Amino acid sequence: MCGFVGYIGGGETQTMAPVLHSMADRIRHRGPDDADYYMDGDIALGFRRLSIIDLAGGRQPILNEDKSKVLMFNGEIYNFQTIREELLKAGHVFTTKTDSEVLLHGFEEYGTDLLNKLRGMFAFIIWDKNTKTLFGARDFFGIKPFYYTEMQGTFMFGSEIKSFVDHPHFKKELNERALEGYLSFQYSPGYETFFKGVYKLPPAHYFFYKDGKMDIQRYWIPEFNAEEDKPLEYWVDEIEKTFDNSVEAHKIADVEVGSFLSSGVDSSYVACSADVDKTFTVGFDNGSKYNEISYAKELSEMIPVKNYSKTITPEEFWGNFGKIQYHMDEPLADPSAVALYFVCNTASQYLKVVMSGEGADEIFGGYNIYKEPLAVPAYDKIPFPIRRFIGKVASHLPRKSGVNFLIRRGMRLEDRFIGNAYMFNEADRKKLLKIKTDAPSPAEVVKPFYDRVKDKDPVTKMQFVDLNAWMVGDILLKADKMSMANSLELRVPFLDKEIMALAQRIPLKYRVNAENTKFAMRKAALRRMPEKWAGKKKLGFPVPTRVWLKEDKYYNIVKEKFTGEVAQKYFHTDKLVKLLDDHKNGKADNSRRVWTVYTFLVWYDQFFNDEILNSYVEKSDAKTA
């Protein structure tokens, strides 16, 4: 586990070295144990290492036998021993015992076919010195990040955008299109980022870069094909067997592995299955609604396993928010990211690797909103034009559950569902913004995903959209960035291609039904834990922002941002203040929309105020190879 950075172009080694070191220093948190570098006049590669496997011999960059190819890799390959044996039989010579080196020799042997042999999380590059070609790939689900840009004749790439700001050819400029899209999604959707000209390599894609040209291809995509002829018990047995296998694979390490534990079924199932010694939990001191520590401690005593917990104070939450947005690279308005930062920080004081429950909801059908298309099915028999008219009339009424039902069911699924967050619709975000952009509508962003599953049922469509948008842009972004901010490796055993291969065969009735979400998975979890945890309704991670925003102290903090210079540049500030005031006065629950704008403004300071930006750099004393 680590972070890497590199660039093509820029001249001789002596001029590359100081720039490369500065770029790598910027992401030291991803790998505080070690650093190393490779430069050959054409390319500069910098690596920061968090030592997990082959502690003594696993330094990167790694070269092949004739030193014609160089690898840098962030992630873990859980089936590397099997692939390694195949490569040894084929005559490849290994110099380490790492999973990393399997990628280098595997690419030599199999080319791009290597990718579908892998089981794990990864972002990696291989430089071919002879052909001057760069190959790179990102894992199936997008667990590990990969960013790239080309500016002033220099091609830059790496694990975090922030490393680019230390390159003299990098032009730091806000991508206003991303800001408009973010106001709807609460994260930056699609391939663009908040920095103009900087892009994300999408999950399950690889690329070749040569002579200034980049060719990107997709190598894998999940396919939902339900098998209706098998009983519930069959699926429960298969989930239990496949999940146990995944957990066992995800425990491979030369250091101790722990587990996160909340009150929900996902992390509880991981903790109950993993046979770890330590679990970690956080909560807030705002009553039981915002604190899951008692649930976690109770289950920990039953397993039994040691539980370490932390109660996050409001001062800690607000005081660390700027640093958290810096580590995120792009603004993410999901308040649970702050809680994740603190649970990662707590775990990092005891070990280097933890397992967590991300991905279960998207794969097995866990979000409460997935039940929406199944509610009152008779209403869908009313012709759509009539439902649309009723919805438009209802939109002028006070928002209550019945009214919301009429509004939402008066819209097509493709228009009303863009993922688990929908902050500002297209009209509202344009009214809020001073700037004009050509950002696509929310529906346009998710249309390619709907098009891939146009013959599926509504719930499967929603899952597919979340797998490709929400999970990548929110869930996995914060999982990687918050863990790496604390030099902690986070492993996600639900996001395993073998589990996906199983889950995409499960009929809808065993994923989502009137009784519960994640129906079959919960039945499997029930074999490991009581109903109190296995059947618990999906909550997400409750954070008391809506409460704090009504308190003068935090209201004033946000109002200062909403009327500040940056806000005045991009927003109609009177509309921002009205959102905030209406929330404080109890006229509407605007907490999530207020938080979305506030998050952007805080993030902007971290990257566009040079004094703040430069305060984060930690110098390293690493050797040059």
The residue to which tokens 């249309």 are assigned? 447
pLDDT at 624: 39
The model's pTM is 0.94
pLDDT exceeds 80 at position 34: no
Q: Name residue 591's amino acid.
A: S
Give me the catalytic one of 1, 2, 24, 339. Answer: 2
Mean pLDDT (whole number) for 170-178? 97
Q: Mind giving me the DSSP string for 487-518?
A: T-EEE-TTS-HHHHHHHTTS-GGGTS-SS-SS
Mean pLDDT is lowest, of 189-198, 301-310, 425-434, 612-621, for 612-621
Mean pLDDT (whole number) for 275-297? 84
Nearest to 243 by CA among 503, 468, 467: 503
pLDDT at 56: 55
Are 107 and 100 a contacting pair, CB within 8 Å?
no
Choice between 95 and 215, residue whose per-residue pLDDT is larger: 215
Arithmetic mean of pLDDT over the chain: 92
pLDDT at 54: 56
pLDDT in tens, 131-160: 999 999 999 999 999 999 999 999 999 999
**Terminal-to-terminal C-alpha distance of the chain:** 20
pLDDT at 537: 78
pLDDT at 380: 87
- Tokens found for residue 573: 């500030």
pLDDT in tens, 510-545: 999 988 999 999 999 999 988 888 877 776 677 899
pLDDT at 412: 93
pLDDT at 619: 52
Question: For 122-257, where are the alpha helices, taking DSSP H only?
Answer: 176-185, 232-250
State the pLDDT confidence band at 599, using cuts at 50, 70 and 90. Answer: very high
Residue 447: helix, strand or coil by DSSP?
helix
State the pLDDT confidence band at 288, using cuts at 50, 70 and 90. Answer: low
Residues 6+ apart with CB under 8 A from 581: none
pLDDT in tens, 74-112: 999 999 999 999 999 999 999 888 899 999 999 999 999
How is the beta sheet containing 257-260 ordered, strand by strand? 306-312, 278-284, 257-260, 353-355, 489-491
Distance CA 434, CA 209 (A): 38
pLDDT at 255: 85
Distance CA 325, CA 534 (A): 33
How is the beta sheet containing 62-63 ordered, strand by strand? 62-63, 69-77, 120-128, 133-138, 205-210, 213-218
pLDDT exceeds 70 at position 623: no
Count Cα atoms within 13 angstroms, Cβ side, for 436. Answer: 0
pLDDT exceeds 50 at position 621: no
pLDDT exceeds 80 at position 201: yes
Beta strands in 438-577 (DSSP E): 489-491
Which of 65-69, 206-210, 275-279 has the largest mean confidence? 206-210
Q: What percent of the chain has pLDDT over 90?
A: 81
Are 343 and 486 a contacting pair, CB within 8 Å?
no
How is the beta sheet containing 2-8 ordered, strand by strand? 34-39, 43-49, 2-8, 154-158, 147-151, 198-200
pLDDT in tens, 245-273: 999 999 988 889 999 998 789 999 999 99
Residues 6+ apart with CB under 8 A from 298: none
Residues 6+ apart with CB under 8 A from 561: 567, 598, 601, 602
Strands 489-491 and 353-355: parallel
Q: Name residue 610's amino acid.
A: D
State the pLDDT confidence band at 51, using cuts at 50, 70 and 90. Answer: low
2 among known catalytic residues: yes
Mean pLDDT is lowest, of 44-58, 203-217, 288-302, for 44-58
Exposure b/e, 158-178, CB count within 10 A at least 16 = b:
bbbbbbbbbbebbebebbbbb
State the pLDDT confidence band at 123, using cuts at 50, 70 and 90. Answer: very high
Are 48 and 35 a contacting pair, CB within 8 Å?
yes
pLDDT at 625: 37
